[in-house]
Amino acid sequence: MQLEVDTSTAATAKVAITVPSDEFQKEVQSGLRNASQHVNMKGFRPGKVPMAVLEKKFGDGIRREVKESFVQRGYGQAMEEHGLKPMAHPRLNPAELDLADDGSFVVEFEVPLRPNFDLPDYKGLSITSELEPVMDEQIDTTIGEIREQQSTPEAAGEDGIGEKGFVIANLSFMEGEEKVFDREGMRLNAMSVPPGVDGDAFAEGLKGAKEGDQLTFPMTIPDFVENEEARGKDGTCLLDVQQAMNLTPPSDEDLFAILGDEVSDMDGLRAFVAARLGEAAEERESNRQESALLDQVLEQCTFDLPEAMLEQQTQARLTQLGQELASSGASEEDVQKAQDEQRPTAEAEAAKGMRALLVVEAIGEKEELLVTNPDLETELMAIAARNQTTVEEVKEYYEQNNLGQQLAIEILEKKVRRFLRESADIQSPA
């Protein structure tokens, strides 16, 4: 096997592998002989199957395996002999690589390389905290939200529903005398306005609604109705109220009981809420500081990125954008226009992401911030808890989708971000 490596371009290595015909055929014949020792074919003893028969049955597959073997050996040899650090493996399909006319195997490919760069000073970076104290108004608002979340529905009775009440109703859209859409048992309140109905009019009309009421609202027939001729026309939204409910908030004593032993009176409740709000604010501020500190490091790191890989990452972002727009009903023309407009932004984001990955890995290596098996287990447990599933199911998902390396990178980034923050010079606000 002959190997040529061109490293004249800093961000990319060009690798050329040439395997003479006799060397390639020797490997193929060896593969066929090995297959003959393990194959059972009717009419032939193991090891006695004629080469012509083996060639017909296994030849194409073995040639693919031989091609793949030479590519892997050549790639490994090139990286080792030239001390190259690849950012990604080349994407080659051995089945699509043809032999030359003389029977030799020749393949050329490019390998994106990790750029060489010096890390700037990243310890002791200065940043000003933006953490603000928890205010009484925040505590009051949060307690109100907790009360609302813990409220229980009760029949509205003759007074009908209040501002935060709701109805269970059968809903119909009428275009003249024709019913063009209907749904039964819909839960509706002042915030869940049927499409095509004015929100203010709906909220006002819903006030005081009682069981058995029939409410009507002018509307514009929405585009999703089956009758195409009715779409966009003036119509009527009918509500046949089956149930009318108000939400009754818990008493102070019930609320204390819901929150457990930590809370026994209103002072305790306020202290409990203030502590939770403070913890959330501290977490947000920590995340902000970590992002700002990493940005400081990135601003001081200038190096070239492999153009092919940058284009690949950019295209992946644009493809995702296109899929999102197409799923929302955008035309091919609108999707292409949006992708063209967003290309500069997508390229900038892709470049920043690639730079961040390289810098994070460099700091992690220098500070020996290793990703251990316990780290992986802890992260998998956290993912399982967030998604209300088992750790085994999460592991299976990550294995099936080959996401193990991505998970390790995410854990390393968390460690590096935390390291930057913990070693930073954090100033108190003036």
CATH of the domain at 32: 3.30.70.1050
What's residue 211's pLDDT?
Answer: 95
What's residue 31's pLDDT?
Answer: 87
Q: Does residue 298 form part of some domain?
A: no
Q: Is the pLDDT of residue 294 over 80?
A: yes
Assigned token pair, 380: 């998998």
159 and 108 housed in the same domain? no
CA angle (419 as vertex; 415, 423 as ends), nearest 5 = 175
pLDDT digits (tens, 9 = 90+) for 135-163: 999 999 999 999 999 999 999 999 999 98
Average pLDDT, the chain: 91
State the DSSP H helix or E strand holding residue 383, giving kind and residue range, or none if neither.
helix 373-386
91 and 16 housed in the same domain? yes
Q: Is the pLDDT of residue 303 over 90?
A: no
- Alpha-carbon distance 20 to 352, whole Å? 43
pTM greater than 0.85 (yes/no): no
What's residue 43's pLDDT?
Answer: 60
Q: Assign 11 a pLDDT band (cuts: 50, 70, 90).
A: confident
Stretch 222-243: mean pLDDT: 94
Number of H helices, E strands in the chain: 11, 10
What's residue 304's pLDDT?
Answer: 86
Q: Name the domain count of the chain.
A: 3
With b meaning 16 or more CB within 10 Å and e meaning fewer, what string describes 198-210?
eeeebeebbeebb
Q: Is the pLDDT of residue 17 over 80?
A: yes
Q: Assign 236 a pLDDT band (cuts: 50, 70, 90).
A: very high
pLDDT digits (tens, 9 = 90+) for 237-276: 999 999 999 999 999 999 999 888 889 999 999 999 999 9
- The domain boundary residue, chosen from 61, 81, 112: 112
Assigned token pair, 261: 């032993």
What's residue 306's pLDDT?
Answer: 86
Compare 350 and 12 and report the one with higher pLDDT.
350
Compare 94 and 409 and report the one with higher pLDDT.
409
Q: Does residue 422 form part of some domain?
A: yes
Q: Is the pLDDT of residue 48 over 80?
A: no
Write out the residue range of the structural domain in which residue 54 sits. Answer: 2-112
Give the whole-number percent of the chain exceeding pLDDT 70: 97
CB-CB contact of 21 with 104 (8 Å):
yes
CATH number, domain of 191, equals 3.10.50.40
If one counts every other C-beta atom within 10 angstroms of the C-beta of residue 38, the result is 8
Residue 72 CA: distances (Å) to CA of 29, 100, 105, 246, 257: 19, 19, 14, 69, 65
Compare 45 and 216 and report the one with higher pLDDT.
216
Q: Assign 187 a pLDDT band (cuts: 50, 70, 90).
A: very high
Q: Is the pLDDT of residue 40 over 80?
A: no
What's residue 41's pLDDT?
Answer: 64
Q: Does residue 187 form part of some domain?
A: yes
- Alpha-carbon distance 163 to 104, whole Å? 81
Q: Does residue 142 form part of some domain?
A: no
172 and 98 housed in the same domain? no
What's residue 46's pLDDT?
Answer: 61
Residue type, 124: G
- Alpha-carbon distance 308 to 233, whole Å? 52
Q: Does residue 399 form part of some domain?
A: yes
| Residues paired with 16 in a beta bridge | 4, 108
156 and 86 housed in the same domain? no
What's residue 208's pLDDT?
Answer: 95
Nearest to 414 by CA among 362, 360, 377: 360
Q: Does residue 281 form part of some domain?
A: no
Q: Does residue 338 form part of some domain?
A: yes
Q: Is the pLDDT of residue 192 over 80?
A: yes
- Dihedral, 418, 420, 421, 423 alpha carbons, nearest 10: 120
Q: Does residue 144 form part of some domain?
A: no
316 and 411 housed in the same domain? yes
What's residue 98's pLDDT?
Answer: 86
231 and 319 housed in the same domain? no
- The domain boundary residue, chosen from 248, 280, 314: 248
Q: Is the pLDDT of residue 206 over 70?
A: yes
Q: Assign 176 a pLDDT band (cuts: 50, 70, 90).
A: very high
324 and 396 housed in the same domain? yes
State the DSSP H helix or E strand holding residue 179, giving kind and residue range, or none if neither.
strand 178-188
Stretch 321-328: mean pLDDT: 92
